[in-house]
Amino acid sequence: MKKGYVFSMILMLLLGSVFVNHSLLSSTSAQASDTSYIDVSPIGEDGSVAGSPIVTAVLKQGSSVEKVTFYAKAKNEPDANYYGYAPDYQAPYSWNWPTGAPWVPDGEYTLMMEIIYSAGETEILTRDIVAKNESEPNAPESPKDLFLTDRTSHNVTLSWTPSSSEKIFDYVIYQNGIQLAETTTTSFTVDGLVPGEYYSFRVKARDIYNNQSIDDNSINVLMPYETGDTDPLPSISQIQAEGNSGVTPGGNGYSGDVSLSVLATDNNQVEKVEFYVKVLGAPEEDYWKFPTTRKHNDTYSVNWSTTYTPEGHAIIKAIAFDSAGQSKTVTSVFLIDNVSDGGTTDPTWEPAESPPANRIVGYLAGWSTYGAYDIVRDLDASRLTHLNYAFALIDTNLNVVMSDPVQDPKNFQALSTVKETYPHLKTIIAIGGWGGSANFIEAAATEESREIFANSAVQFMVEHGFDGVDLDWEYPVTGGGPGTYPNPADRDNYPLLLEKLREKLDEQGEKDHTHYLLTIAGGATAGFANNTQLGLSQQYLDYVQIMTYDIHGTWESLADFNAPLFDDNGKTYSVDKGIQAYLTAGVPADKLVMGVPFYGYRYNVTSNDNNGLRQPFNGSGSITYNRIVKDDLLSNGYQRFFDEGSMVPYLYNETESIFISYDDEQSIALKAQYIRDHELGGAMIWELSQDHGNDLLSSLYEVLKEPIMDTTPPTTSAQITGEEWTDHSMIQKATVTLEAEDNRSGVEKTEYRLNEGEWLPYSNPIIIETDGSTRVDYRSIDRQGNIEDYSSYDITIISVTFENLYMIVDEADIHHGQKTALLAHLHQAERAKTAEKRHEKLEKALQFVKDMSNEHISETDQQQIQQFIQLIIDYQQ
């Protein structure tokens, strides 16, 4: 430790000691104890300290103390490096310990108290504690250039260049993700390996504060069967970045779209190169993989849109794989600097006079508040009905947890403040998303897992002040986001999961005297509707959001529209196609909430044909509407076009060959009008912070603020039940059951009439028992007064009487003599004085008919007469 550092530290601690003892003399002394120990207060929930905690020696009861001295050192420093505070000679024995850079960087420390008792006895107390003041981790750089200096069939020798960080203590070697050994040198031999097996190795630097490096330098090695028969590892360069500089003058960050590239080679061939990104302090499992990698000769690259990464440091990882399955990894840390540090500004929008009469649902990404977006200042809740907060996650125990325990609580509190001003706003916690859909499969799999998940979701909702739950599972059956996988059982489990959630939400709602919302966001395809049994599942939902965007994007080979409203005569899939797929699947129109994007995609096209539309590209990225407006692209080389076939705009810069698909105020208004024309349930937005001064939200609001007039009448279906005799004829009686549906305002009443008489209100099934023909007309009327054109059904009732039997016999094609004989049998039965005698005569008549030959009666008439005689026998009984 440098002498100047120790002197400055002691001076600062001495001053701190004087202040603390002075202040504590007037406060309560530390409590005595049976044994002595070191108390540190306050301590955070994670066991760490920040700022200037108070460190106190709590002494055993009855002790007489001469003095107590406080010392501290970094965890991995030798004891000789303990630095001491000024000793204290009277109780309470407390010191301020001012943590934080530069004197006490984040990390693990050992605190020590030297207690000298009046009798001359000395007691030493120690305690380990973690100091944590910064949001980003204090981690040393990993050693670079991990390579093999030797490889046999059973061992490898790893070597690396030293870490460039100061205060390095040692290096930690990991094999297959498990800590294997520590060393203070820059090489290590691993023995006991198996020929033909793959092994991954990684070396981390560890500093005196016990912090380990988090950037990567791992390799994956194939062990040879014979010594000398080795396949060299692939070679990969450090990651290069090209893009716009950050907005902070003199800073070294990046803003907007950044091109990341590496040079990768191999003695045979490079099989692939993969790129990943995560926030610097996030756990390893948070790495997000770039969907595609471009290759040009030995250069591999991806486009990184930094607007989707929170402000601060992010870590990029690139892995080169050779044809044998071996790999080498490199990482680099980059500063994201998209947002100006120059103070806040007042909002440029005015609140609406009244909330919209139709649903306008906006997603708000929690990470947006790491930038310039301020919820209380910038969220225009006056033009929203619902807000979905994105996202909560499902942990491996199937419980719903925060995705960002640092920022989420602040955002939840800000939303509560907004709701005080706009009490009409309903806030909903969205669970999942592309990056957070892992563990949905497991949550939905069994009755027990659904119970655990549903209870946790409801608890999370209530605890954090939300009004409902939104499931963003991307995607059931097929898989999609990180941690998901294809699973056919999802099709049956999806509606069961919703049913359980609905049950638990309703139970909580009864306790709280409110209705809690349940919604989903689904992919805009018939496949998603089928994979989730959406016609069945929708019954558990308050409304269904369809993600009618990302219809085309940077993962494809041609530049195309993000969210075309129409298909342009079959040239593209479209928003309209997605809507029709959901309606066909059985989602009621008034439940269907159509997604609209507040962002677009930017493509570096390789051809100027068709103004870049549907042309190949060699670079791409997302772009927000806010960025398009703030950068004033229309005054900086871009020309706006409007595609009449798809009803969306696009921008093109011919000089730079850049095509941008996006939505603006005109296209958003057209989509809102589509919602109104098709009497849908409203609009859903991804994502609110991407708007510019709430321009797009205002455009949506202006079209949807007034109620959508219901011009579509209800539809009524009739079910006729009874014992059928012939088409439209029933034996003895018929029951008519009516059922009406209306997609928007709801059914006001259903009514019917008989034989064009007076219209009567329908409440119970209609019973028709009058012999002969009856005409039933029926219709429904909705709450907007739309009257359905009536439908009719003619029903003939055949009473089981001798009179009707004589009529059937009379109309039958029977030989004259046989008919006369049959009528005689029937007259005898009708005139019989007892039921037994009547039954006997009817049985004889029935047998007489059965014995008739085809020469005397047609087969159809024979069967019909037999059936009716049997009916009279049955009814007589």
| Catalytic (active-site) positions | 474
DSSP collapsed to 3 states, 159-206: ECCCCCCCCEEEEEEEECCEEEEEECCCEEEECCCCCCCEEEEEEEEE
Residue 28's CB is within 10 A of a number of other CB atoms, namely 7
The rounded distance, in Å, linking the Cα atoms of 364 and 742 is 32
List all residues 6 or more positions away from 792 whose beta carbon is below 8 Å from its beta carbon.
775, 776, 777, 778
Which residue has tokens 């563990």?
439
The DSSP line for 14-69 is HHHHHHHHHHHTTSPPPPPBSS-EEEEES--TTSEE-SS-EEEEEPBTT--EEEEE
The rounded distance, in Å, linking the Cα atoms of 224 and 208 is 38
The DSSP line for 239-285 is PEEEEEEPSSTT---EEEEEEEEEEEE-SS-EEEEEEEEEETTS-GG
H or E segment and range at residue 528: helix 526-531
The rounded distance, in Å, linking the Cα atoms of 657 and 421 is 47
Segments in 534-601 forming alpha helices (H): 534-537, 575-585
Using left for φ > 0, alpha for ψ between -120 and 50, and beta otherwise, residue 568 falls in: left
The rounded distance, in Å, linking the Cα atoms of 186 and 163 is 9
The rounded distance, in Å, linking the Cα atoms of 797 and 733 is 6
The candidate with the shortest Cα–Cα distance to 403, out of 431, 376, 380, 377, is 431
Relative to beta strand 639-643, strand 426-432 is: unpaired
The candidate with the shortest Cα–Cα distance to 96, out of 15, 210, 212, is 15
Residue type for 840, please? Answer: E
DSSP collapsed to 3 states, 388-423: EEEEEEECCCCCEEECCCCCHHHHHHHHHHHHHHCC
Which residue has tokens 């959406």?
534
**Packing angle between helix 665-677 and helix 575-585, nearest 10 degrees?**
20
Which residue has tokens 């540190």?
40
DSSP collapsed to 3 states, 99-140: CECCCECCEEEEEEEEEEECCCCEEEEEEEEEECCCCCCCCC
DSSP state of 97: -
- Identify whether the C-beta of residue 570 lies closer than 8 Å to the C-beta of residue 579: no
C-beta pairs of 541-544 under 8 Å, 24+ apart in sequence:
541/498, 541/502, 541/591, 542/468, 542/517, 542/518, 542/591, 543/359, 543/519, 543/591, 543/592, 543/593, 543/681, 543/682, 544/519, 544/520, 544/582, 544/587, 544/591, 544/592, 544/593, 544/681
- Identify whether the C-beta of residue 744 lies closer than 8 Å to the C-beta of residue 723: no
Question: What residues does 304 pair with on adjacent strands?
Answer: 258
Residue type for 359, please? Answer: R
Helices and strands: H and E segment counts in the chain: 16, 45
Residue type for 433, please? Answer: G
> What is residue 228's three-state secondary structure?
coil
- Identify whether the C-beta of residue 110 lies closer than 8 Å to the C-beta of residue 46: no
Could you check whether the bond before residue 687 is cis, i.e. omega within 30 degrees of 0?
yes
